[in-house]
Structures are given as structure tokens and as C-alpha cells.
Structure 1
Amino acid sequence: MLDQVTSNAARTNLAPIPFEADAPFLKISGELPRELNGTLYRNGPNPQFEAPGAHWFVGDGMLHAFHLENGRASYRNRWVRTPKWQAEHDAGRALFGGFGRKMPDTPATTTPDGGVANTNIIFHGGRLLALEEGHLPTEIEPGTLNRLGYCDYKGAISGPFTAHPKIDPVTGEMVFFGYNAAGPLTPALSFGAVSSSGVVTRFERFEAPYASMVHDFIVTENHVLFPILPITGSMQRAMRGQAPYAWEPEKGAYVGVMKRSGASKDIVWF
């Protein structure tokens, strides 16, 4: 009896899915409305290989698609075939330890791109985009879940792109930002907007009070707010082998307020 209790206690759902699958005919209990048609996409970290000390936040992105059509349900999952995923797949082992950091024994010829596209997935302007904070959006083919490459809107944007853009419910405009916009652990932020038809209408950069991990931002009808909180980034710390991000409450918290119709030079910091 004790062995059974111990065995049950050891079970956990905290484990990656080690395979890709297609299930074209899911079993249905009851009946699905034939008028309910479409696809629910999900994205999340799912490490292809274990890396010593790596946090799950940096696991490879895996997409899940649940499709309903004419009373039928199907499922498909695929890893996002980022340059990192492909390099590790070809090597048959982990090459990155997380946040773009290569393992000590990783060959020098390995791609420097440690992007994982693992945080969010959205559909906007005719494009399905897998998102994470450190890189450009990754465009995905809706049916196959194949990776089509980075989406920079024909060169109109560059640098990191938030995993949490906001889509205006009235106009369909997508508003976004990016931190570390001038390089790793820098105080520069980018800000931009993409029309409902998928055209970049603005893109600019500005300086925050200090380098910070900026997880999200706030968009209202007339304003954009950028919270800068003292989870600070420091290249000096990173070069000393310490945590690149640390809590420094003495630096205080700021909120930058900008009119949506204005420019970044007019931001007021509180």
C-alpha cells in the first residue's frame, strides 16, 4: 500500500511531450454543432532535449491545433522548427542552456539564434504568428503548422517583439513593443503598430529609465502605458557569471505614458 501511495505521489504532469502527432478523427461524446467551425491554437514551452539547469520558460515552442469542421474534431501538434530546434534536432542533443546561452561543448559553427517561439500564438492581418519576447514573430502555416520564417513585415520592423501585443477591438490594429531593442540588456524599447490588413504603420525606438525585463504593457483607446519595474538587466552582472536579471527595488518603478496618436519623444515618465 505504501509503495502505491509513493508511486502516485511521484506522478506529475510537468513533463514535455516527446512526440508530434496527427489525430484526424477524435472521439466525440455527444454531438458537435456543425455550425461551429475553426481552429483553436495553443503554444507553450516543450523542451526537445533536457539542458542542465535550464528553466522551462526557455523550452522549445510546441504548437497544438484543435480543429472543428462539420461536426468533426481533429488534433495536430508540432514543434516550431526554429534555427535552435533544428540545430539540436540534427545534433541529437541540447546545444543551448537557455536564454540563447550555448552549452560549453557546443560547436562554434552552431547557429547563434537561440529563439524558441514558445509563449503565445495569434492570428492577425492574415498571418498566424508564434511569439516570444526575445525575437521577431515567427510565421506559421495554419494547416500544417510548418514554420515559414521570421516575419519582419518586409523589413518594416526589427529586433525583439513582445509575446503580448494588443489588438484594437474596434479598428483591428495590432499595437506592440519590444524591450532590449538596442541589444541584450539595454534600456531601449521599440514601439509600433500593424494595421488590420497587416501593414506596419509606425515603428520607433526610445529609452526607458533603465534596462528592465518588460513583460507586458497597457493600451487604451487614446494612450499607451509602459511599466518599467526594477527587475533590472545588467550586462556587467552577466559578464561576471551572475544572473543577468535581478531585483533592485532601490531603482524605483516607472510608468511611461504616451498618446497613441503621438510620438515616443513625447512620453511622460511617472
Structure 2
Amino acid sequence: MPKLQSQEKPRFYWQLLFSLLMFVYMYLPILVLALFSFNESRFSASWEGFTLKWYQQLFRDQRILSSVQNSLIVAFSSVAIAAVIGTLMAVGLARYRFRGKGLYRGVSYLPLIIPDIAIAVATLVFLAVVQIRLSIWTIVAAHVVFCLAYVGLVVSTRLADLDPHLEEAALDLGATPREAFLKVLLPELMPGIISGCLLAFVLSLDDFLIASFTAGSGSTTLPMEIFSRIRTGVKPDINALSVILILISGVVFFLAESIRYQSAEKRLKQ
């Protein structure tokens, strides 16, 4: 009597189903947003045809272009300052011992967990006490606070993976402390510095609360301009602007991950 071949029952992967549901939940609204940015209608209730006029209108909008310029000035300025100070802070905390080091480390990374509204109110009160006039540079000063924490955290993570004897070897070979830092340590830290700067750049570009509390007249950033327009309803040009911002954020994330991956591959080959 021939043996019956056992047929394996198809396995149902709950993890796969759960992952698909989560991706649909997270990205379906973005797909709908992107679709209706090409809608001919001024209202998002119905589809009336494909058009690119909202993107064309967006690039002719002087208020949007001015707010984009302000946001870029704030983001580039705050990230540049945070890159220098954050790198030095991370190296100092990792390489040197001093009294109150643990307390200083905790205070340095405190902006990562403090709510934005608390930072915004505290910054506004401080500026009022010292009688500094609000302008675009007060936004930069406020953004440096949290950008500094993010850059310092990413650089310190990179420092933890490095051989602590690299600088000592350079000093033994005749390099000065300055040369050991610039020619040995800094090139190794550069992937972490760039990744931290890209992360801080996106967060600065996206910030609304802190900027709205510390902005002066004529220094409206892009999130502030978007918020002022959506209070009367979301228009298709705002949909188009949101799609562009999502694409920019995706490109920045891809660059950061590429730098991190290449750095990890380089360490493994060594």
C-alpha cells in the first residue's frame, strides 16, 4: 500500500502581516497626500484630474520662498555652530576626566528629553530678561541648544567604537596634540559628525514650537508659514509643499544611512 505523502500546511506569518499593516498605517496617508497634490480641484474631497499647477504656483509664491530662505539660514547656521561645539563636547567628555563630569554629561543631553514647549518658553523668558530683540538669530541661538545635543550624542557613539590609543600612538610618533586631533581623530569622527549634522538639520528645518516663540518680525520660518495657512483649510499647494519636504527628508535620511553603512563597512575591513 503506497505511503501517503505528508503535505505541509502553509504557514501563516503573523509577523509579516503585522509589518504590512504597520507600513500601510504609516505610509498610506503620505501616498494620499502625494496623490492629491496633483489634483486639479482646489479641495481634497474629490478628484477632478491631474495637474502640475500647484507645484508651479508654489515656486512663484514669494511668501513661501522667503520662509524657505529663513528656514535654511536657521538650519545651516545652527547646525554649523552645533557641529563644532558638539564635537568638542563629545571628545572632552570621552577623553578627559574632571570634577562633575557625570552631571555635565547629563545636562548636555537634557534637551533630548525636555519637551520643545519647555525649551521655547525658557528661551523666550531668558531673551526677555537679558533684553535681546527677537530676530532670526534668536531662532538660531535657540536651535543650537537641541542641535548641540543631537550632534554630541551621535559623535559620542562614534567615539565609543574607536580605539582610544589612536591619539597616544600619534603623540608617540611626534605629533602635537593639535595635529593628533586634526589628522588622526577628526577624520575618524567625520562620518559621525556628518550623520549628526544631517539629523540636526532635518530637526531644525521641521521645528515649529521653538521658532514661533523666538522669531521676530520678518523672520517667519517654513513651518510657521504652513501653520498660518492650514488654519483655514489645507490647500493643494500645501500638499505639494509637504511632498517636497518629505522627499528632502528622505534624501537626507538616505545620505545619513549611507555614511553610517560605509563607516561600519570600513571598520569591519580593518
- Settle same-fold status: TM greater than 0.5: no
TM-score, normalised by the number of residues in structure 2: 0.22
Say which structure, 1 or 2, has more relative contact order (CA 8 Å, 6+ apart): 2
Greater fraction of residues in strand = 1
Larger radius of gyration: 2
Structure with more helix by fraction: 2
